[in-house]
């Protein structure tokens, strides 16, 4: 075979006693043949033959049939992303067995469970290094195919959680924008029912990252609790406390965001406390999430949709940790946003 780039296989221990995915000579030859074939097709522009080597292309085709052009663009972007720079001489192929779907890219933008990859092919040319995720198609006599994940969101969208250098990074800006968009759409629905009946005196977020809980709350000018005794921020007594909840979910539309913040803090050590809280210790990441929630209520989309309500003259915004039962620390205020003041235990 004239096609003979450097070829290596990573040693990855299967989790929980699962069988090891080995690359024998037959599979090695199949991988080399697939890369050589696709590289030649990319170089010659043979689009029809190249598409035949994909697994999952029907998702894009289905989007085209439904004229779902936005979703179709996800697949076109990804295909271009993994093909760009190919067609040049392939210098090396490094094969990595895939066992954990959580380690795959676009974890929060795509579903990899339908056609699960067996191997990652890290392909290096003179112009680029890229990765193809492949599996053997049992319906086609074990023929190797390059998998297209089932995209549910734009792959170029910045993920909220991302693995970087062996640790998970929280993208506060992406989270804040997503949260603001979600709350804004809730405002669109609820303002239709409330306008003309009440004025809104406050909006608050009651947040517990460890429990994966975000509770949007509205205070109206038609409340029954004794504000003089309990204060304005007695969230549990607000008529529209956790107004987005349903019988089976704290916030159906926000479930994904709630799961993300839980994933981020659930395995972190409880070793920090805010100087205003002497009675409990939290992970530092808890406070990072609270600050991201405070960023959300400053987003332009949040403010734009908030204006759909009839706002009272004394309208205020609050962002509170659920453990702060007396709502003494409003993270929406600049004075509570300096994490350098956290006390290490």
Q: H or E stretch including 111?
A: strand 110-111
CB 237 within 8 A of CB 308: no
Question: Which stretches within 111-218 are classed as H helix?
Answer: 172-194
Token reading at 135: 């599996």
Token reading at 269: 């050590």
Dist. CA 330–CA 35, nearest whole Å:
56
Dist. CA 75–CA 147, nearest whole Å:
11
pLDDT, residue 319, reads 97
Taking the model in full, what pTM does it have?
Answer: 0.60
pLDDT, residue 164, reads 59
Dist. CA 280–CA 78, nearest whole Å:
46
pLDDT, residue 274, reads 84
Q: At a CB cut-off of 8 Å and minimum separation 6, what does 130 contact?
A: 81, 82, 83, 84, 85, 86, 122, 123
CA distances (Å), 184 to each of 58, 181, 318, in order?
A: 34, 5, 16
pLDDT tens track, the chain, 345 positions: 588 899 999 998 888 878 899 999 999 999 999 999 999 999 999 999 999 999 988 887 777 777 777 778 888 889 988 998 888 899 999 999 999 887 888 877 788 888 889 999 999 988 788 999 999 987 777 899 999 998 887 888 777 887 655 567 888 998 999 999 999 999 998 999 999 899 999 999 999 999 999 999 999 999 888 888 888 999 999 999 999 998 878 898 899 899 999 999 998 889 888 888 777 788 999 999 999 999 999 999 899 999 999 999 999 999 999 998 889 899 999 999 888 888 877
């Amino acid at each position: 075979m004239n096609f003979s780039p450097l070829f290596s296989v990573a040693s990855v221990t299967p989790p929980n006693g699962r069988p090891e995915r080995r690359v024998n000579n037959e599979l090695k030859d199949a991988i080399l043949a697939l890369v050589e074939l696709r590289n030649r097709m990319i170089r010659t522009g043979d689009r029809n033959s190249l598409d035949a080597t994909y697994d999952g292309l029907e998702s894009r085709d289905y989007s085209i049939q439904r004229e779902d052009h936005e979703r179709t663009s996800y697949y076109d972007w990804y295909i271009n992303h993994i093909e760009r720079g190919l067609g040049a001489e392939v210098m090396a192929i490094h094969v990595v067995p895939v066992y954990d779907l959580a380690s795959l890219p676009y974890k929060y933008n795509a579903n990899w469970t339908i056609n699960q990859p067996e191997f990652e092919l890290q392909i290096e040319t003179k112009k680029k290094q890229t990765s193809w995720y492949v599996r053997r198609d049992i319906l086609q006599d074990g023929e190797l195919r390059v998998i297209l994940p089932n995209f549910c969101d734009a792959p170029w969208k910045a993920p909220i959680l991302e693995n970087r250098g062996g640790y998970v990074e929280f993208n506060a800006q992406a989270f804040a924008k997503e949260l603001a968009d979600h709350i804004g759409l809730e405002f669109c629905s609820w303002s239709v029912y409330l306008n003309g009946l009440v004025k809104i005196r406050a909006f608050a977020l009651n947040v517990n990252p460890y429990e994966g809980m975000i509770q949007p709350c509205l205070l109206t000018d038609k409340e029954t609790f004794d504000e003089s005794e309990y204060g304005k921020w007695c969230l549990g007594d607000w008529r529209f406390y956790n107004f987005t909840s349903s019988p089976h979910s704290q916030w159906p539309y926000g479930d994904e965001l709630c799961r993300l913040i839980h994933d981020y803090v659930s395995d972190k050590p409880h070793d920090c406390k805010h100087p205003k809280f002497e009675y409990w210790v939290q992970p530092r990441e808890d406070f990072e999430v609270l600050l991201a929630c405070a960023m959300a209520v400053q987003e332009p989309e949040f403010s734009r949709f908030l204006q759909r309500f009839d706002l009272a003259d004394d309208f205020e915004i609050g962002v509170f940790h659920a453990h702060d039962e007396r709502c003494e620390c409003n993270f929406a205020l600049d004075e509570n946003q300096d994490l350098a003041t956290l006390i290490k235990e």
